[in-house]
A and B are shown apart, each in its own frame.
Chain A
Amino acid sequence: MRRKSVSYSRFGYMFSLPFILAFLVFSFYPVLYTAVIGFTDMKGVIPKPVHMLDNPFGNFTDLIMHNTSFRISLTNTALIWILNFIPQIGLALLLTAWFTNQRLKVRGQGAFKVLLYMPNIITASTIAVLFNSLFSYPMGPVNSLFESLGWIDAPVNFLQDKTTARGIVAFIQFWMWYGNTMIILIAGVMGINPALFEAAAIDGANGWQTFVRITLPSLKTIMLYTLITSMIGGLQLFDIPQLFLFGGPDDATLTTSVFIYGQAFKGSYMFNKAAAASMIMFAIAAVLSGLLFYLMRDRDAARLKKAQKRIDKAARAAARGL
């Protein structure tokens, strides 16, 4: 048995090789390269000799201390994420409570899930341009609708107002993602030991008590997972603000990713500034990932150990069988 595990171990390395190579070439090296560019004066479309800056952290300090656009982009990213996440998790929890309530027995759950998840699968670029057209001024579907409902007297130029524009971007994010969060939470509830719910029912708990005392505590890990993956996703928000209003009006929907894209591939092609901004973003994502990693770590180690035991046991049984 010992001999066997030794003689096959090289396949472990061989079969991991394509992954490792692709990772090194297409992820690891580009990240390092980006980091290096962040310390140089690389800019412009035409390749020129590139120099390290005399003050190596020049680009970083410039961005953080003096670049208002960059600071606005960080604030916007955070703001848009919060505006989308709070209603998203709230509505997802409410729908989860309803759909898993044994007394309500909501019918047509399958159809509701399919429809509420639908916006998530459609290309974000298409949705961004679609919403831009829906909110158009002076004649657009939303203006017509609001006028016929009597909510407004005259057409409103939604896309010129900074708060409204930001709100619409946050709404699109919310609208695209709450169905996804809801399905994950419902799956989490399905995974809770039914005996807990039975015990609560025997003790005479009502729906609200059951939800707050049993469902919510059991969902803690899944909600943390959703929170952190949503933060990392929110940090990268690009398609919607880029195609909705190109970060406008007046930088109101400029997110960090739109800022990076604009720095590197528009106007003066400031690759160094964009790279430095990327690294700042990378650092934030790394901290968030670290947090997620820490949360998921213990369970996985335990499961791996268990699986290892099972494999060993199977191997022993197989060896005996021979």
Chain B
Amino acid sequence: MENVRAESKASLHVNRTIVYIVCIALALLSILPFWIMFVNATRSTAEIQSGLSLLPSTHMKTNLDVLLSKSFDPLKGFLNSLIISGFSTLCAVYFSSLTAYALVAYNWKLRQAFFTFILLVMMIPAQASAIGFYKFMYQLHWTNSLLPLILPAIAAPAIVFFMRQYLLSMLSIEMVEAARIDGAGELYTFNRIVLPIMVPAIATQAIFAFVASWNNLFMPLILLTQKEKYTLPIMVSLLKGDIYKTEFGSIYMGLALTALPLFVIYFLLSRYIIAGVALGGVKE
């Protein structure tokens, strides 16, 4: 008996060692490409050509100067991305919450049909409507406008779905009734009583909506042709063009600049992001 226990303890020890080796290797695999990106952003092209290094060098300023001397304006791209992502996130979370509230708090005839409809359209790929969308926006003279990248966020089926699940478990109808007795209008009740209850769900969904919009390449790429309207992901595609062909240090610098805001957001909010991912998957 003693022997068996000692043996299983030993095998547990071995197993645990294997687990840690694999997990650390995977963690390194996650870090290494970005580490090289940030390090190479500080190295000269000659240094990058001469081999791999994991320690930063001193050419950050030169790389930045070369980068900015050619049509690459990360600040402009950052602002455009920020405007689009910010407003589309606001639209997405506010109107999705409102739609979810309509689905949960009111008893209307088409409610079930509408919910089924939302489930059905949840997965429509952007590419399925892209050509028609582009032609339509072209006729409205809305290409090179930020509006077609913001307004469609009002209809975000997946967020409605999530908000509805949340409201079903959190909304107490007594509270709404009490507000009615106090003479509050329905929209006022939603804005002042229901929205505050939903803040945790809104925060989670806002992070994901923001990141998704920030990282989106397809729609901005087909709609925006003027340089001063470019978002960061489009700017990244400029780095691959001919203008930076041999300026490796500047290319890495450009990549590092586009990724930096996301790293900051991620390390500040990683706890909520991981919890949000877990929550999103358990909608059964």
Given A16-B102, A129-B236, A130-B255, does the pair A222, B282 have CB atoms closer than 8 Å?
Answer: yes
Asked if residues B132 and A132 are in contact (CB atoms below 8 Å), the reply is no
> In this assembly, does A12 line the interface, its C-beta being within 8 Å of a C-beta of chain B?
yes
> In this assembly, does A184 line the interface, its C-beta being within 8 Å of a C-beta of chain B?
yes
Q: How large is the interface on A (under 10, 10 to 19, 20 to 34, 35 or more residues)?
A: 35 or more
Binary CB contact string for chain A from 254 to 266 against chain B (1 if under 8 A, 0 otherwise): 0011001100110
Given A16-B99, A278-B130, does the pair A133, B135 have CB atoms closer than 8 Å?
Answer: no
What DSSP secondary structure best describes chain A's contact surface? helix
Q: How far is the CA of A111 from the CA of B152 in the complex (A)?
A: 36
Given A37-B135, A133-B252, does the pair A26, B151 have CB atoms closer than 8 Å?
Answer: yes
Asked if residues A264 and B131 are in contact (CB atoms below 8 Å), the reply is yes
B135 proximity list for chain A (CB < 8 A): 33, 37, 42, 271
Asked if residues B132 and A221 are in contact (CB atoms below 8 Å), the reply is no
Question: Closest residue of chain B to A283, judged by CB?
Answer: B128
B278 proximity list for chain A (CB < 8 A): 183-184, 186-187, 190
Q: How far is the CA of A124 from the CA of B212 in the complex (A)?
A: 10
Asked if residues A12 and B102 are in contact (CB atoms below 8 Å), the reply is yes
Asked if residues A31 and B277 are in contact (CB atoms below 8 Å), the reply is no
Asked if residues B23 and A278 are in contact (CB atoms below 8 Å), the reply is no
A193 proximity list for chain B (CB < 8 A): none
Distance in Å from the Cβ of A319 to the closest Cβ of chain B? 10
Question: Closest residue of chain B to A306, judged by CB?
Answer: B168
B49 proximity list for chain A (CB < 8 A): 139
Ordered nearest first, which 8 A-B pairs have the shortest CB separation? A184-B281, A33-B132, A12-B108, A12-B106, A34-B132, A187-B278, A22-B154, A15-B102
What residues of chain B have their CB less than 8 Å away from a CB belonging to chain A?
12, 15-16, 19-20, 23, 26-27, 29-31, 33-34, 36-37, 40, 48-52, 95-96, 98-99, 101-112, 114-115, 119-136, 148, 151-155, 160, 168, 172-174, 177, 186-187, 190, 211, 214-215, 217-218, 221-222, 232-234, 236-237, 239-240, 248, 251-252, 255, 258-259, 262-263, 265-266, 270, 273-274, 277-282, 284
17 contacts between A and B (CB under 8 A): A8-B106, A15-B98, A27-B152, A30-B130, A34-B131, A118-B31, A119-B30, A121-B265, A122-B263, A125-B236, A148-B51, A226-B281, A281-B125, A281-B128, A285-B123, A289-B120, A289-B124
